[in-house]
């Protein structure tokens, strides 16, 4: 077993070297994701396996040079597994792909946390590394089961099955006097979707996740108000230059300032309409964070309304799946789940369990 202390309490001996490793990892990650996407289609392609092996070997070497021991510990068992794939002993399967992506995601989150002084215990690195070590030495017919157990141990979810991420549109019976407004709000959300092909279907995905998360918790938030908030929360983006909110590259300080105004635009519209005060509050607060690190008001957990807390989680979940789309491959559902559950200060803890229950039902049935 790898050094447990190094996984639970990694030491940063050189800040400059850590930053150098983070930059190297950012450069290599897109190629790894592209190779994995290609291997899903051609799992026996030796050239692709060799390319993926070289990338992981480079990350491991960079980690050693930069004295980021946790990077070496995470990469080593993956390297061993890929060596067996390269030798034809093991087939590169969809489950193996998910484990490699999960390990890459955990490594990214770990070095980001180390760079900012945040805790990493919730990332479950010992479970990840021990699971991968077991896979690296297991008989070929045992690897799939071990991979599934590793994914579940680290994320809390059974592996995603092909096609399981499909969603149906959630509906509820809105009062007749509100239904007309909701149809109008929905039309605005669908207009927002036309601004980018990446947004296609996001309204219905967000609506299903939000309403189901609320339902699992016993419907403490009025469903019609929550539906309106889902439709309207990003409509304010349309009052911001598209060159800013559709930007792929790094945002400037001015870009960030403009983006942070978008909740106020949509909340202001709702506030001026009869019957939608609660939805307005949700929209205004959906970028607030329990630790006070959000915007626009820097509110603490006790001041943020429940609907905004739900919206923050489902909106971030959707964003994570799109975050690296410019690399040529959308993040897998497992990786999105892992990242949401790893953000211990960004979301209200009381809503994580209901959200997880919804996702678990979605991916397991």
pLDDT higher than threshold 70 for residue 364: no
Count of positions (residues) in the chain:
365
Domains of the chain by range and CATH? Answer: 4-155 (1.20.120.160), 176-364 (1.10.3210.10)
pLDDT at res. 213: 96
pLDDT higher than threshold 80 for residue 309: yes
**346, 321 in Cβ contact below 8 A?**
no
d(CA 304, CA 346): 12
pLDDT higher than threshold 60 for residue 281: yes
Could you tell me the pTM of the whole model? 0.73
pLDDT at res. 197: 84
- For residue 300, list its beta bridge partners: 291
pLDDT higher than threshold 50 for residue 330: no
**123, 342 in Cβ contact below 8 A?**
yes
Does residue 294 sit in helix, strand or coil?
Answer: coil
What is the b/e burial string over 135-147, where b = at least 16 CB atoms within 10 angstroms of the residue's CB? bbebeeeebbebb
Q: How much of the chain exceeds pLDDT 70, in percent?
A: 91
Q: What is the pLDDT of residues 168-220, one digit of tens each?
A: 445 566 777 789 999 999 999 999 999 888 788 999 999 999 999 999 999 99
Q: What is the pLDDT of residues 38-49, one digit of tens each?
A: 998 999 999 999
């Amino acid at each position: 077993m790898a050094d447990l202390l190094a996984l639970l309490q990694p030491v940063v001996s050189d800040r400059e070297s850590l930053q150098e490793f983070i930059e190297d990892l950012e450069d290599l990650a897109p190629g790894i994701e592209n190779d994995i996407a290609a291997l899903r289609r051609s799992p026996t392609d030796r050239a692709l396996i060799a390319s993926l092996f070289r990338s992981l070997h480079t990350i491991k070497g960079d980690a050693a040079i930069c004295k980021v021991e946790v990077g070496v510990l995470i990469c080593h068992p993956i390297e061993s597994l890929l060596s067996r794939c390269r030798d034809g002993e093991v087939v590169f399967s969809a489950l193996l792909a998910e484990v490699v992506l999960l390990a890459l995601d955990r490594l990214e989150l770990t070095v980001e946390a180390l760079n900012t002084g945040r805790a990493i215990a919730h990332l479950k690195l010992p479970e990840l590394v021990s699971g991968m070590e077991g896979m690296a030495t297991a008989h070929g017919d045992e690897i799939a089961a071990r991979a599934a157990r590793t994914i579940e141990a680290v994320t809390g979810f059974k592996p995603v099955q092909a096609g399981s991420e499909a969603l149906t549109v959630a509906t509820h019976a809105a009062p007749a006097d509100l239904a007309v407004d909701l149809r109008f709000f929905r039309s605005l959300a669908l207009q927002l979707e036309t601004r980018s092909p990446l947004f296609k279907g996001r309204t219905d995905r967000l609506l299903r996740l939000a309403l189901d998360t609320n339902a699992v918790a016993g419907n403490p938030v009025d469903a019609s108000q929550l539906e309106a908030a889902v439709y309207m929360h990003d409509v304010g983006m349309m009052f911001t230059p598209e060159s800013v909110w559709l930007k792929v590259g790094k945002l400037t300080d001015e870009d960030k300032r403009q983006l942070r105004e978008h909740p106020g635009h949509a909340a202001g519209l709702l506030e001026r309409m009869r019957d939608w005060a609660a939805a307005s509050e949700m929209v205004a607060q959906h970028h607030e964070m329990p630790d006070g690190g959000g915007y626009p008001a820097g509110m603490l957990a006790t001041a943020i309304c429940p609907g905004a807390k739900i919206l923050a989680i489902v909106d971030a979940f959707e964003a994570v799946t799109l975050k690296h789309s410019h690399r040529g491959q959308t993040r897998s559902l497992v990786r999105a789940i892992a990242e949401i559950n790893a953000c211990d200060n960004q979301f209200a803890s009381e809503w994580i369990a209901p959200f997880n229950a919804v996702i678990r039902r979605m991916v397991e049935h």
